[in-house]
Chain A
Amino acid sequence: MPEARVPPGPLPQKWEACRASLKRLSPSDARRYRVLIVGTGLAGASAAATLGEQGFQVESFCFQDSARRAHSIAAQGGINAAKNYPKDGDSIERLFTDTIKGGDFRSREANVYRLAQVSNAIIDQCVAQGVPFAREYDGYLANRSFGGVKVRRTFYARGQTGQQLLLGAYQAMMRQVEAGRVRLHPRTEMLDLVVADGAAKGLVVRDLVSGAITTYGGDAVVLATGGYSTIYYLSTNAMGCNVTATYRAYRRGACFANPCFTQIHPTCIPVGHQHQSKLTLMSESLRNDGRIWVPKRKGDQRSPDQIPDGERDYYLERRYPSYGNLAPRDIASRAAKAVCDEGRGVGPGGQGVYLDFRDALGQLGRRTIEERYGNLFAMYHEITNEDAYAVPMRIYPAPHYVMGGLWVDYNLMSTIPGLFVIGEANFSDHGANRLGASALMQGLADGYFILPLTLTAHLAAHRPRQEGPEHPAFGDARRQVEERTRRLLAVRGKRTVDDFHRELGRLMWDACGMERSREGLTRARAEIPRIREAFWKDVTVLGSGEELNQALEKAGRVADFLEFAELVCQDALHREESCGGHFRVEHQTPDGEAKRDDAHFCYVAAWQFQGDGQPPVLHKEPLTFDAVPLTERSYK
């Protein structure tokens, strides 16, 4: 197993000690190094801005038409920090403990502690950038609660926190573009990683307008390419989200950690019709004031206002009296699935539960509710044509986030020297389940405060040297991408790319979604290669590679999903326990909760590619818990 390089010493001093020992570069030295950053979400944009400020030459790539459109923009609810402004007893220790416990003891203690330590500086930075966080009447910053937590530590900007944080990072990056230290490459997709002389040295990218396939060389590569929830076809992620960058890095030797740890978010608008292209999240913050229920009686067809309180089952409040509607995501999702499986679900097909604001509207008044959630209620109305001020919202779980990602050490470097991975793209901080408002925190912690130091230290240990297209590794990688593009265009079969994507998505949702079983996963592992074969025989991609061709872009992404899905299922199959979002039906407590097996599975599963048709090798990074004792997670 590769070394996690966690610094020695007591937990609270690790990051401080590490920081002090990391080598720095003066701005005049820094400008001789070139860093390639893929992705411009919270992690990628904040890293590009900060590295630019420090003097590095930064090349920033994104497939969107503008860096400002990366999917972080869609995060609604908020960002956590241990500021303890409401004076309700919050602290770095407590944020750390909640995150470890929320992740069901499958994350690395030292990383999580550092995340909690850095959280406060993020809020300072964002406020200084002009992020318009919500404020109280005294002019100070407002906080609210999120799932799995009993304190108010979430900072927010209406229901658009991700947008405002991303614009802050994007603007900081644009300032460096103006200063000439960051060069932007929008509408440019990374299709392969170039590993030269044992280190990450470059990228193969496709210009999505001209179709030109070219290479870029640098001293280090940073992947900030987000998650792969779109492997399920229907998810809350943007249509363009994909696994290609991290999967291609995996094929080049970077270990992929815990790929089966996916998060199914409990509060999304249910599937409405067969042509549905994506699912819409209703922010978890709604659970602060909304109460979740289904009818007690199976198949109760009455309209919700006709069902008296005594005949409603507020099942989260009943099963988890201590946390109630703010139970963590994995638990709330499974509970929703359980009541729907019992035949008590509501709405079309019985795939939904009520999120009811009747009581909050009565207590707080419509104005307050509108102020807190107005845009979410409006969005709900647009999609469903229902007024949630009058009738309860209907919600159902949907794929939302992935905790799994490329394996990184404490310094956020993958198993390929010089390849760093930040934000959702790495596996590091959330274990088997992420708590709400922690993704934004992690993305910005990595990009603003951690990567710039650890990457600098890595570069300081090497002389600046950028390889170019004349290096054989660059030419080889480029030719492989060209060949693959040519093959995709040459099939000219009968089925559309979306058709294959939908087929894979359905299979993954059934076999590797909220509930997994040995039997289902085994079947999926047999089925995926069959779909993949059919894809390469029967997919149709019209047009050419030398033009703006969206079907071709999608085809490449789906082709990678068709390989990567096998790894996800293999990981889920090998982990013979339930933890967080990974729920194996064979491993549950008598009352249906996840049953961990710490004796055998208290480790990070890091998979190493061995070649097509070869089973990957599993490396195990053992997890130890010194500060928070390994206990059964309970929200009762």
Chain B
Amino acid sequence: MNLSLVVWRQKGAQTPGRFERYEAKDVSPDLSFLELLDVVNEGLITQGIEPIAFDHDCREGICGSCAMMINGLAHGPQPAVATCQLYLRHFKDGETITIEPWRAKPFPILRDLVVDRSAFDRIIQAGGYVSVNTGEAPEANSIPVPKKDADMAMDAAACIGCGACVAACPNASAMLFVAAKVAHLGRLPQGRVEAKQRVDQMVDAMDREGFGNCTNHYECMDACPKAIHVKAIAFMNREYRFPRRKPGT
């Protein structure tokens, strides 16, 4: 099949960017979307044009590296997959595909399609964990966890931290990302002990990073490659609703 790509090119964080058009001729519909970019890049390099920079690593939808808007949709048109798991058979021969980086102020562009998502790390750093030191843990089966709770925790824990939820949200909100962690740990007895301060600290960190708020568009859920449900946001809101602790108490 033949495809035309319109790709955002930007040399560095401080340089202005623009769209460039590249043709991909006679590519197999069995290629993954990133393999399409590989093929285009090989062609660019042989023409002496610097290849398109994009984050990618595991190429099986779990590391969360790959991140691009494809025809205006985070990770493209297929539901519940990351860009690396998107295959060309979902596109039409002769189609023009627009590829852009995540667009959100807390994710500054570094080059082409590569953005800085370290804001997510700082949110986890603020409280996305259970404070147990190595070697302090009790016997694993000493606390039974209802299967349903463990399953719901796992549903939320499946988040790969790619940032599609932010990119898809008209407010660039990170609510689904934060809520996924809050719900993962908050559903388990091991995470309950710090549940209150966790949600406070993580939401504060999210606000500090400049992410917007949730106004119930649910675009995040549609874009999420792991299909994490906005019920997690409801869970987080419930956890957050109670009076906040005063500093030092």
A209 to B62, CA, bound (A): 23
Interface residue A490 (Cβ < 8 Å from any Cβ of B) = no
Are A132 and B133 in contact, CB atoms less than 8 angstroms apart? no
Partner of A67, one of B27, B30, B121: B121
Are B42 and A498 in contact, CB atoms less than 8 angstroms apart? yes
Interface residue B191 (Cβ < 8 Å from any Cβ of A) = yes
Are A164 and B35 in contact, CB atoms less than 8 angstroms apart? no
Q: Which residues of B contact A172 (CB under 8 A)?
A: 129, 132, 134
Are A277 and B125 in contact, CB atoms less than 8 angstroms apart? no
Q: A124-B140, A385-B89 are in contact. Are A548 and B117 (CB under 8 A)?
A: no
A411 CB to nearest B CB, Å: 18
Interface residue A634 (Cβ < 8 Å from any Cβ of B) = no
A71 to B55, CA, bound (A): 14
Are A65 and B60 in contact, CB atoms less than 8 angstroms apart? no
A548 to B11, CA, bound (A): 9
A71 to B184, CA, bound (A): 22
Are B145 and A135 in contact, CB atoms less than 8 angstroms apart? yes
Q: A65-B116, A66-B117, A178-B125 are in contact. Are A74 and B157 (CB under 8 A)?
A: no
| Among A69, A157, A276: residue with most chain B CB under 10 A | A69
Q: Which residues of A contact B248 (CB under 8 A)?
A: none
Interface residue B87 (Cβ < 8 Å from any Cβ of A) = yes
Interface residue A175 (Cβ < 8 Å from any Cβ of B) = yes
Q: Which residues of A contact B147 (CB under 8 A)?
A: 135-137, 139
Are A550 and B51 in contact, CB atoms less than 8 angstroms apart? yes
Are A542 and B48 in contact, CB atoms less than 8 angstroms apart? yes
Are A68 and B191 in contact, CB atoms less than 8 angstroms apart? no
Complex: chain A residue closest to B45, CB-CB: A496
Q: A128-B130, A137-B147 are in contact. Are A74 and B58 (CB under 8 A)?
A: yes
Complex: chain B residue closest to A385, CB-CB: B89
Q: Which residues of A contact B118 (CB under 8 A)?
A: 65-66, 186
Are B137 and A127 in contact, CB atoms less than 8 angstroms apart? yes
Q: Which residues of B contact A383 (CB under 8 A)?
A: 32, 85, 87
Partner of B144, one of A140, A186, A382, A385: A140
Interface residue A167 (Cβ < 8 Å from any Cβ of B) = yes
Are B38 and A128 in contact, CB atoms less than 8 angstroms apart? no
Interface residue B110 (Cβ < 8 Å from any Cβ of A) = yes
Q: Which residues of A contact B12 (CB under 8 A)?
A: 547-548
Q: A66-B120, A130-B185, A277-B32 are in contact. Are A157 and B125 (CB under 8 A)?
A: no
Complex: chain A residue closest to B157, CB-CB: A132
Partner of B153, one of A132, A163, A385: A132
Q: A69-B64, A238-B59 are in contact. Are A494 and B53 (CB under 8 A)?
A: no
Are A65 and B31 in contact, CB atoms less than 8 angstroms apart? no
Are B141 and A121 in contact, CB atoms less than 8 angstroms apart? no
Q: Which residues of B contact A281 (CB under 8 A)?
A: 60
Complex: chain B residue closest to A239, CB-CB: B57
Partner of B28, one of A130, A273, A382, A385: A273
A542 to B48, CA, bound (A): 7
A85 to B144, CA, bound (A): 13
Are A130 and B45 in contact, CB atoms less than 8 angstroms apart? no
Interface residue B1 (Cβ < 8 Å from any Cβ of A) = no
Residues A345-369 near B (CB distance < 8 A): none
Interface residue A171 (Cβ < 8 Å from any Cβ of B) = yes
Complex: chain A residue closest to B146, CB-CB: A139
Are A65 and B42 in contact, CB atoms less than 8 angstroms apart? no
Are B135 and A121 in contact, CB atoms less than 8 angstroms apart? yes
Q: How many A-B residue pairs have CB under 8 A?
A: 224
Are A547 and B158 in contact, CB atoms less than 8 angstroms apart? no
Are B141 and A141 in contact, CB atoms less than 8 angstroms apart? yes
A131 to B145, CA, bound (A): 12
Is chain B's binding surface mostly helix, strand, loop or mixed? loop
Q: A64-B65, A129-B190, A132-B157 are in contact. Are A171 and B59 (CB under 8 A)?
A: no
Interface residue A278 (Cβ < 8 Å from any Cβ of B) = yes
Are A452 and B134 in contact, CB atoms less than 8 angstroms apart? yes
A107 to B57, CA, bound (A): 31
Interface residue A589 (Cβ < 8 Å from any Cβ of B) = no
Are A130 and B130 in contact, CB atoms less than 8 angstroms apart? yes
Interface residue B103 (Cβ < 8 Å from any Cβ of A) = no
Partner of A542, one of B51, B58, B63, B137: B51
Residues B103-159 near A (CB distance < 8 A): 110-111, 114, 116-118, 120-121, 124-126, 128-141, 143-147, 150, 153-154, 157-158
A384 CB to nearest B CB, Å: 9
A172 to B129, CA, bound (A): 6
A122 to B117, CA, bound (A): 30
Q: Which residues of B contact A162 (CB under 8 A)?
A: 62
Complex: chain B residue closest to A543, CB-CB: B50
Residues A183-219 near B (CB distance < 8 A): 184, 186, 209
Interface residue B77 (Cβ < 8 Å from any Cβ of A) = no
Q: Which residues of B contact A449 (CB under 8 A)?
A: 134-135
Q: Which residues of B contact A126 (CB under 8 A)?
A: 140
Q: A53-B133, A66-B161, A130-B188 are in contact. Are A160 and B11 (CB under 8 A)?
A: no
Interface residue B236 (Cβ < 8 Å from any Cβ of A) = no
Q: A130-B191, A174-B125, A496-B45 are in contact. Are A68 and B31 (CB under 8 A)?
A: no
Contact with B along A32-66 (1 / 0, CB 8 A): 00000000000000100110010000000000111
Are B126 and A178 in contact, CB atoms less than 8 angstroms apart? yes
B13 CB to nearest A CB, Å: 8
A378 to B62, CA, bound (A): 13
A457 CB to nearest B CB, Å: 16
Q: Which residues of A contact B58 (CB under 8 A)?
A: 69, 71, 73-74, 238-239
Partner of B121, one of A129, A138, A174: A174
Are B138 and A128 in contact, CB atoms less than 8 angstroms apart? yes
Interface residue A125 (Cβ < 8 Å from any Cβ of B) = yes
Partner of A128, one of B11, B80, B111, B190: B190
Interface residue A83 (Cβ < 8 Å from any Cβ of B) = yes
Are A68 and B161 in contact, CB atoms less than 8 angstroms apart? yes
Q: Which residues of B contact A540 (CB under 8 A)?
A: 45-46
Partner of B57, one of A138, A238, A275, A542: A238
Interface residue A293 (Cβ < 8 Å from any Cβ of B) = no
A134 to B153, CA, bound (A): 10
Are A275 and B141 in contact, CB atoms less than 8 angstroms apart? no
Q: Which residues of B contact A132 (CB under 8 A)?
A: 150, 153-154, 157, 184, 188
Q: Which residues of A contact B59 (CB under 8 A)?
A: 238-239, 277-278, 280
Interface residue B61 (Cβ < 8 Å from any Cβ of A) = yes
Are A71 and B141 in contact, CB atoms less than 8 angstroms apart? no
B44 CB to nearest A CB, Å: 9
Are A65 and B65 in contact, CB atoms less than 8 angstroms apart? yes
Interface residue A338 (Cβ < 8 Å from any Cβ of B) = no
Are B81 and A382 in contact, CB atoms less than 8 angstroms apart? yes
Interface residue A22 (Cβ < 8 Å from any Cβ of B) = no
A211 to B62, CA, bound (A): 27
Q: A132-B188, A178-B126 are in contact. Are A275 and B140 (CB under 8 A)?
A: no
A126 to B138, CA, bound (A): 10
A156 CB to nearest B CB, Å: 11
Partner of A65, one of B32, B55, B138, B158: B55
Interface residue A448 (Cβ < 8 Å from any Cβ of B) = yes
Interface residue B165 (Cβ < 8 Å from any Cβ of A) = no
Residues B9-23 near A (CB distance < 8 A): 11-12
Complex: chain A residue closest to B112, CB-CB: A548
A387 CB to nearest B CB, Å: 14
What are 11 inter-chain pairs, A to B, with CB distance below 8 A? Answer: A65-B117, A69-B63, A127-B140, A130-B129, A134-B150, A160-B158, A174-B124, A175-B131, A238-B58, A383-B85, A496-B42
Given A73-B62, A548-B111, 11 other A-B residues pairs in contact with their CB atoms under 8 A: A66-B118, A73-B63, A85-B141, A128-B136, A157-B157, A174-B124, A186-B121, A239-B59, A277-B59, A379-B60, A385-B30
